[in-house]
Amino acid sequence: MNTKFSDYFDNWLYGKDGYYTKYNAIGKDGDFFTAVSTSIFFGGSIAKKIVDTILNNKLPHNTTIVEIGAHHGYLLADIIQFIYTLNPKLLESLNFAIVERFDNLKNEQKEYLENSFGDGIKFDFYDDISEIKLAHAFIVANEIYDAFSCELIYTKDDKLQTAFVEKGEIQFKDCSDENIINKCKKYKITKGELALGYEEFAKNICKNIKNFYFLSFDYGEKYPRNDFSCRIYSKHEVFPIFDEKLDLDKLYKNSDITYDVNFSHVIDSFNSFCKCEVEYQTQLKALVEFGILDLLQILQKNVSEENYLKEVQKVKSLLEPTGMGDRFKMLLIKK
C-alpha cells in the first residue's frame, strides 16, 4: 500500500510508538546533539533576552513563558535558573507553561521540574498550542519547524511530483494537489521538501495570544536549496533519505527524521494571520546579542578557572561559525 510521504513522516515521529512519543536521550547517549544538550548557557542567553525584554517594557512582568516541544524540560529549567540569577524578583510575577501532546513525556517533564524547583515554581501544561489563550507570552521553541511533516518534491519533465512510500521504497508520482503546486510555485521549490502545517500553527498563535515574542532556533535558510535535505539521525550518524545503503524499515520510528527549514515559509505563515515584526539571523549573532558573553563574565567571577574554561568550551560549540553558530538560525517573531 502506497503511503504519502507526509503521512509516513508524521507516523514516524508521532504515530503509535513514534520516535517523539518515547523518551529518547539527547546528547552523547542519544542520536543527536541540540543546543540545549550542548550548554546551559543556551537557555541562559534566552533567559537574558526575556529579562531584558520585560525590563524594557516590551512585555509585562506577569508574562507567561511558554515552551513548545520541551522534551525533558531542560531548556525551561535552564531559563528559570538564569532568570533567578539575573533578576530573581521576576519569578514572583512570571508564569510558566509547556505544550506537550504526549502524557508520558508530560509526566517526565513534571517530575524533572518538580525535582528542580519543588513548589517554588508553578507550571501549566497544554496538549496543543490551540488551547492557550493569553494576553501576553514569550514563546520558546528549539528545533520545532523541522519536525512538521513534509512532502518530498521532485520535478520531472516539467511536472511536479510528490513522494510515496511502499515497502520501505520511495517512489514519485505526478502531483494533482493544487495547494502543494501553488506553494511550490510561490517558494520556487522544484526539488526538496515542502513543510505542511505551518499555517495552522501560526494561525493558532496569532488568534489566541494578543501580544507575543516567539523565539525559535532551527537549521535552514530563507530560500529553498532545491535539493533534498531530508535525513535521518541514528546514534550520531547521518543518513540522507536517498542513501542507497539506507534501510528505512529498520530505522523507521527508531531514529530521528528531519530536514532543513525554509524560514520564508514560516515567516509568511505568521504574516498571513497577524502583523508581525521579524528578526532573523545566525545562532552565533543572536546569542552574542542576547548577552551570552556577559553571562560568561558573571560565571568567571563565581567559579574556579577550571570550571569556567569547561563552560567556555561548551559555549564555543554553540557559536562555532563552521558548526552550530552559522548552521542554526534564530527566528524571532513579535506581535
Q: Are residues 80 and 204 in the same domain?
A: yes
By C-alpha distance, which of 328, 201, 210 is closest to 265? Answer: 201
The larger pLDDT score, comparing residue 204 to residue 70, is at 204
Contacts of 297 (CB under 8 A, 6+ apart): none
pTM: 0.92
The CATH number assigned to the domain holding 93 equals 3.40.50.12710
Pair 241, 113 in one domain: no
Confidence class of residue 323 from pLDDT cuts 50, 70 and 90?
Answer: confident
Q: Is the pLDDT of residue 301 over 70?
A: yes
21: nearest Cα among 35, 11, 6: 11
Question: Do both 120 and 167 map to the same domain?
Answer: no
Spatial distance between the Cα atoms of 256 and 236, rounded to a whole number of angstroms: 10
Q: What is the pLDDT of residue 86?
A: 95
- State yes or no: pLDDT of 30 exceeds 60: no
Domain-ending residue, one of 241, 259, 277: 259
Q: What is the mean pLDDT of residues 49-72?
A: 95
Same domain (yes/no): 93, 130: yes
Tens digits of residue pLDDT in 179-234: 999 999 999 999 999 999 999 999 999 999 999 999 999 999 999 889 999 999 98
Total domains in the fold of the chain? 2
Give me 323's grid cell.
Answer: 558548526
Cα gap 146→262, rounded to integer Å: 9
**CA–CA gap between residue 195 and residue 86 (Å, rounded):** 38
Residues 81 and 126 in one domain: yes
Between CA 9 and CA 12 the distance in angstroms is 5
Q: Is the same domain home to 136 and 204?
A: yes
Residues sharing a CB contact under 8 Å with residue 201, sequence separation 6 or more, in sequence order? 129, 148, 269
pLDDT at 322: 87
Instruction: Print the domain residue range for 15.
Output: 1-24+150-195+226-259
Q: Are residues 137 and 272 in the same domain?
A: yes
pLDDT value at position 26? 52
31-42 residue pLDDT tens: 445 678 789 999
The confidence score (pLDDT) of residue 28 equals: 52
What amino acid is encoded at 308 in this protein?
Answer: Y
Q: Residue 71's pLDDT band (boundaries 50, 70, 90)? A: confident
Query: Mean pLDDT for the chain?
Result: 92
The per-residue pLDDT for 23 is 63
In this structure, the answer to whether residues 170 and 310 fall within a common structural domain is no
Residue 32 is predicted with a pLDDT of: 42
For cell 497577524, name the residue: 274
Please indicate, yes or no, whether residues 64 and 158 belong to a single structural domain of this protein. no
- Can you give the pLDDT at residue 25? 55
Question: Domain check: are 98 and 37 in the same one?
Answer: yes
In the listed set 259, 277, 309, which residue is the last one of a domain according to the structure? 259
Contact present, 225 and 178 (Cβ < 8 Å): no
Rg (the chain; Cα; Å): 20
Is the dihedral angle over the CA atoms 206, 208, 209, 213 positive or is it negative? negative
Local confidence band at 236 (pLDDT 50, 70, 90 cut-offs): confident
Angle subtended at Cα 185 by Cα 181 and Cα 190, rounded to the nearest 5 degrees: 85
* CB-based burial label for 275 (10 Å; 0-12, 13-18, 19+): exposed
**Does residue 238 share a domain with residue 206?**
no
**Residues of the chain above pLDDT 90, percent:** 83
Nearest to 132 by CA among 68, 59, 216: 68
* Other Cβ atoms closer than 10 A to 206: 21
Tens digits of residue pLDDT in 241-295:
999 888 899 999 999 999 999 999 999 999 999 999 999 999 999 999 999 999 9
Same-domain check for residues 188 and 272:
no
Using one digit for the tens of pLDDT, what is the confidence trace for 97-149? Answer: 999 999 888 999 999 999 999 988 999 999 999 999 999 999 999 999 999 99
